[in-house]
Structures are given as C-alpha cells and as structure tokens.
Amino acid sequence: MVLHALHRAPNWRYVLRTGDVRRFAALESDSRDSLAISPAGGGSWDTLIPAVRSSRLLLFALLALLAAAFARAADMIAPPGAPVFNHARFFPAPLREKEMVGGRFCGSNVSATEGFVTLGEITKEPQAQQWNDLVFSNNRLYRWLRYEAPPGSHGNIGELEFYASTRRLDGVRFATIGERNGRGWRFAFDGDPATWVDTEEADGQYAGIDLMDQATSRTPRFLPPPSGIQKPLRLQLNCLTPYATVRYTLDGSTPGPKTGELYTDAIPINKSTTVVAASFVEGWAASPPIIGTFLIGDTSPGLHTLHIGNTLTDITAQFSDYARTAHRPHLSRTFTLPGANTHRLWDVGLVQRKTEWQVATELLGQIDHLTVQPRDFKMDDEAEYEHRFFDLVRQKSPNVQPWLYVEWVEKERGRPSDSAEMPNSQMKKLWPALTWEESK
C-alpha cells in the first residue's frame, strides 16, 4: 500500500491505495475535504468519508501509522523470485558423518560474522558417501548465509551447497581460516566430494556465501560517475529498487539505515569529495555501498605505479582508490600471472602478453614506483629476474623507486619459508629460527 497526501490550502484530501506501502509522497488533489480510499492507480470503489477540519491532523497521523504497520509487515516478506534460503545440501567427509550432527545453517542481515539466526540444524547422522538434503521453513530474505560446524568437529565436511527451494545460490564465499594438512574450506566448494575440510581449530568453524545485492535492494549508482578531474557538479544517486531509501555520507564513512544523510535531491559537489552511498529496505540487509571520489578543480599531482606478481599482487588495484580519497589522481597498473614467480613472468609473461605490458607501461608513462613479489626460494635466481624488471622499467623511468611486496608465511603450507628454513639477514643471531613465529 502507499499513502499519499497533500495540503492544497485550505482543502485536504488523503488517498490510501493498495500497492506499494514503502513510499510516502505528497500529491495534489481536488478541493473536497474528504478521505478517499481507492485501489492503486484509481478505481471505481472510492469511499468518501467527510473530514472535519479540526480532526485532519489526527486522521493524517492515524493513516501514517497504518501505512507504517503495513510497511513493516510487507518488508518481512521477500518478493517473488528472491533468493530465500530454505534448503541445504551437503556431502559428509569420509568416516566423519557423526561430526556433522549439531551443525547449523544460519542467515544474517548484519555481516558475515554477526547477527546470525539458526534456520535449520542437522539432528541425525547424515548418510555416508552421498548427498544429504536439509529442507527447513523460512520466508525471510538473508544476505549472509553460512554453515556453522559443531564444536570439536574441525569443520569436517566434503561439500556444501545453499538453495532457495531447488535453485542453487552462489555468492562471495567467506570462512574461518586455518587448516590441517592443506584441507581448508575451499574444499567445501570445489565440487569434488573426495576432498574434504579439516580446519586447524576444532571449534567455532564456519563457511558461507554473501549474496550481495541479490538479497538486498540494488546498490545506488552515481550520475555522473567519478572520472579524472571534473568541474563542480550536482550528483544524482540512482537506485533501481523503487521502494528503497538511499543514504549517503561525504566523509568516507559507510551510511547506515539511520546514519548519514537521506538522499532526496541532487548533491552539490563543489570541491574534491568522497561519496559513499547505500540503499535500505526495512527488514533487509543494507545494499553493498558504492564509493567514489570526485576530484574537483586543482588537485595535488598523483603517482604512477606498476605492480608485478601473481594474484596476491592484484589487490594493489585498490591503491588508486585509496589515493583518490586523499584527493590525488593516482594511476596504477598490474602485470600478473596466477601463481607465477618472477622468472616465469619474465620468460613467459613478457612473451605471451607483450601487448598488455606495452599498453600498461605506455599508459603510465613515467613510472614513480614499481613493486615485485618474490616467490622463488632460489634467492639468486629470484634476485636476477627482479633486477631484469628493474632495468627494463628504468629504461624509460630512470628514477623509479623499486619495492618488494613480501608474501606472508603459512604454517601448514610446508614451503621452506613456512618451515623456518630460509635464512633471514635481520635474524642472524636467531638463525636457525627457534620457532615458526620467528621465521616470519
């Protein structure tokens, strides 16, 4: 339902229409002092109720409360086709079926770590070496879905799937960290029941998916979007969910359902500003936020950076975004291969992806900073290939500052650096390392 009202002095009319209760707007009406209740879009069953002028404010308040009550009720019910989690499928780890008894399937609209409500629980030992189904009653839309392993189970499970009835759901995966014998939570989503999860910690283990804006109102969009150096502008926030409210901030913080500014009209942007916006529907999780920095007028010069390595190096793609929040037009590019060490990037990457390298370096022009990611445990070879990249970049950028992007160690991975077998010049008095922690 929607409640529309307008004051056209000196006469009022109130219209309560079935349809969408979440919007509350003012519309012009005729000059009659009356209360009209009609179907959405008009209709033939209008009932006119005489309105005493002295009672107008009371009637208005009562109708607003009625509309709000309908809104709260409607918001608890997901729209048709929404990914409402009510069915889980799982394949137990071999000989560890009992370890799953007490496992719970939960949903949250707060975050990946808080606000979870139990929707279904495994109460009996699953069938061995086959898929098991758990169907439960739920009509509420949740953004974060997860399986919580029972205490003492080390997260033992073979495969894990989330469903809305018969439709399989997928999203951004999240899980607790730590594993034994290389059996992390990734094995619960690899499609191979022969692999299974065995976490380092016995208790408090979970894994799940974030449905993002599949289970929220749509993320707002900037119009115009941030791009380069711009003139002062009026920023519109467009949201494709018509009954959602949009809130925004201009200080870099993320707005909440009751924090930030309520978006009602275009936002004047007269100086360099970072805008964060999200949309909200009561009873649902907030949409993923959109973040953008608008650089207006004169700004301080930014840096040009190039980052070489594997998929870990790809996270440096966000450097430009961070630098823009300081009002600097940072420009960066990556040159990476999954799992590659530096000599493979040189021997294979520069041959197979020569055009990509040329485009990146030409776009950057003068490169201020260069990072490489050492991965080869043959230190002499690693240093040789890093120097090759340094010398190549210095041909056009002689003043470039090189950096080493050092990967962390993982106790269970079993590589020389993980086992405290690599000498460290900063730990000459502690070589060989006495503990794994000292090898980091």
**Residue 53 three-state SS:** helix
Residue 70, pLDDT score: 46
- Is the per-residue pLDDT at 293 higher than 60? yes
The structure tokens listed for 25 are 């707007």
Q: Are 115 and 108 in contact (CB under 8 A)?
A: yes
Whether 28 shows a pLDDT value over 80: the answer reads no
Q: What's residue 74's pLDDT?
A: 44
Tell whether the model's pLDDT for residue 36 goes beyond 80.
no
User: Is domain 87-214 given the CATH code 3.40.50.1820 in the classification?
Assistant: no
Query: Dihedral, CA atoms, 145, 147, 148, 150, nearest 10 degrees?
Result: 160
Specify the residue for token string 């029972």. Answer: 150
What's the full length of the chain, in residues? 440
Euclidean distance between the first and the last CA atom of the chain, given in angstroms as a whole number: 61
8-13: average pLDDT: 29
R_g over Cα of the chain: 29
Average pLDDT, the chain: 82
Mean pLDDT over residues 287-309, rounded? Answer: 91
For tokens 């309105």, the residue is 51
Better-scored residue on pLDDT, 71 or 435: 435
Strand pairing report for 159-164 and 144-148 = unpaired
pTM over 0.85, yes/no: no
- Rank 24-38, 42-56, 96-110, 301-315 by mean pLDDT and report only the highest: 96-110
Helix (H, G, I), strand (E, B) or coil at 108: strand
DSSP E strands: which ranges in 340-389?
Answer: 369-372
Residue 4: the pLDDT is 30
Q: Give me the residue label for tokens 């608008």.
A: 294
Average pLDDT over residues 264-284: 95
pLDDT in tens, 342-390: 999 999 999 999 999 999 999 999 999 999 998 877 778 888 999 999 9
- Cis amide leading into 432 (omega within 30): yes
Give the C-alpha separation, 385 to 154, whole Å. Answer: 41
- pLDDT > 90 fraction of the chain, expressed in percent and rounded: 60
Per-residue pLDDT tens over the stretch 44-96? 434 434 443 445 556 555 655 554 554 454 445 778 889 999 999 999 999 99
Q: Say if CB 282 and CB 72 are below 8 A apart.
A: yes
Give the pLDDT of residue 52.
38
Non-local (6+) Cβ contacts of 42 within 8 A are none
**What pLDDT, on the 0 to 100 scale, is given for residue 390?**
96
Predicted pLDDT of residue 419: 65
Inter-residue contact 226 to 293 (CB < 8 Å):
yes
Which one has a higher pLDDT value, 207 or 432? 207
> In this predicted model, which residue has the larger pLDDT, 363 or 311?
363
CATH code linked to domain 221-296? 2.60.40
